[in-house]
Amino acid sequence: MKKIICLATSILNSRSRSGGDTIFMELSKRISQYYNITVITSYAGYLQWREYVKSDIRYRILSHHAYEKKIMTITVPFIYLLRLFETTFMLIRRELRNDTIIYSASDFICDVFPAVFVKFFNKKIEWVSRIYHIIPYPNKREGRFFYNLISCLGQRVSFWLIKRYSDVIISLNSSLSKQLVQLGFPASKIFISGAGIDFCCINSVHASNRKIYDGVFFGRIAPQKGISDLIKIWQGVVSKKHNAKLLIMGGGLPTEVTSLVNRIESYGLKNNINYLGYIVSIDRIYTLLKSCRLYLFTDHENGWGISVAEGMACSLPVVAYNLDIFGAVHKKGFISVPLKDTNKFIQEVLCLLDDEQRRQQLGLEAYEQARGYDWDFVADGFLKLLEKTYL
């Protein structure tokens, strides 16, 4: 049986799971009967995998240092650098067979460089790399400038290595694939393999028809998710609808979570926003989503939008910024507004809350859209991609 070694070393927080992290977790549940899978990850990543995946997976856990107990944004690049070296040495010590596939779960340099290093020693080993989206220049991205600068430069270095050494480059959608070709990536190496949802599981969760919340945000707490916009938008909604309630679900770095809580208080929205943090129970997440009227997607960058699809499967119409995924991935069930145009965002939210018939119609369209997403279908396509490329 062939082996897949998954490099998932960029995970920092066991209480926050990104869409990119979720993709191979879901795929591994469905392909572990065909491939022996070993995951090299951080201790936080191991906790996530162990909690989320019950398949027969082997783990190699990177060293967990004391300073990782309270990760700050400014220390992240240094943590990734240490993980890069440890992962590389871990792979060097292993006797890798020629039928081994190295899978980079992200385009962070800590997942990319070790794969490149292995290719130097054994060109017969296949490397499958993942790219989710292109990080904007630091002056055009929310968050701390230093971290954004390092992230952007790090991705550009990763891109150069992926172009040169990766055997297969997986893109999440057609729009991203075109952008990668424009950046000089060889079109012959690029394949599209998106994400999915467990539609049957979502559909099986029965919830009351009573709507407790007017809006919901479900995702990581990070600047690039438009968290500051989210609070400003809801303040605008509350100025017109004083009792409007927003639910926020999702974890993040402690500094970002603290910033969110402080922002809610400073805007005087403690009675209008309920932040529940990271929720483990899948059933509870879907029950809560079904208790909401609208899904607010304030991301400034995204490659597919798993959480959006989950909201759609709960019959929630989506109000979002006009990212490429709306049109390339999601075709209906949403209203999009220009990026960072919070006034237009507020206006669309209020219009939907005031027009129940239109809200329900858009929710039905969202539900029908979500019916087409399924992890089993994604896994089948991923297996065919591997078979086509390597057998």
- pLDDT tens track for 319-342: 999 999 998 899 999 999 999 999
| pLDDT bracket for residue 210 (50, 70, 90) | confident
| pLDDT for 336 | 97
Q: Retrieve residue 16's tokens.
A: 């926050």
User: Is residue 389 over pLDDT 70?
Assistant: no
Buried b (16+ CB within 10 A) or exposed e, 18-51: bbbbbbbbbbbbbbeeebebbbbbbebbbbbbee
| pLDDT for 206 | 84
CA 59 to CA 350: how far, in whole Å?
48
Do 3-196+374-390 and 199-370 come out as alike in CATH topology? yes
More confident call, 52 vs 41: 41
Residues 347, 350, 352, 356, CA torsion sign:
negative
User: Is residue 177 over pLDDT 70?
Assistant: yes
| pLDDT bracket for residue 387 (50, 70, 90) | confident
The answer to whether the beta carbons of residues 256 and 221 sit under 8 Å apart is yes
Percent of the chain with pLDDT over 70: 99
User: Is residue 358 over pLDDT 80?
Assistant: yes
| pLDDT for 240 | 97
User: Is residue 135 over pLDDT 70?
Assistant: yes
Question: Is 199-370 CATH 3.40.1400.10?
Answer: no
**Across the chain, what does the average pLDDT equal?**
92
pLDDT digits (tens, 9 = 90+) for 89-121: 999 887 787 789 999 999 999 999 999 999 888
User: Is residue 390 over pLDDT 70?
Assistant: no
CA 245 to CA 230: how far, in whole Å?
13
CA 86 to CA 110: how far, in whole Å?
9
| pLDDT for 205 | 92
Average pLDDT of the residues in 310-325: 96
Delimit the domains of the chain by residue range: 3-196+374-390, 199-370
User: Is residue 66 over pLDDT 90?
Assistant: no
The answer to whether the beta carbons of residues 6 and 40 sit under 8 Å apart is yes
Residues 85, 37, 282, 363, CA torsion sign:
positive
Q: What is the CA radius of gyration of the chain?
A: 21
Helices assigned H by DSSP within the chain: 19-31, 43-52, 76-93, 109-121, 145-165, 174-182, 199-204, 227-240, 254-266, 282-289, 306-313, 325-328, 342-354, 356-370, 375-390
Average pLDDT of the residues in 34-58: 92
Q: Topology of 3-196+374-390 in CATH?
A: Rossmann fold (3.40.50)
| pLDDT for 378 | 94
User: Is residue 391 over pLDDT 60?
Assistant: no
CA 299 to CA 313: how far, in whole Å?
19
User: Is residue 316 over pLDDT 60?
Assistant: yes
Bridge partners of 190? 169
Residue-level length of the chain: 391
| pLDDT for 388 | 72
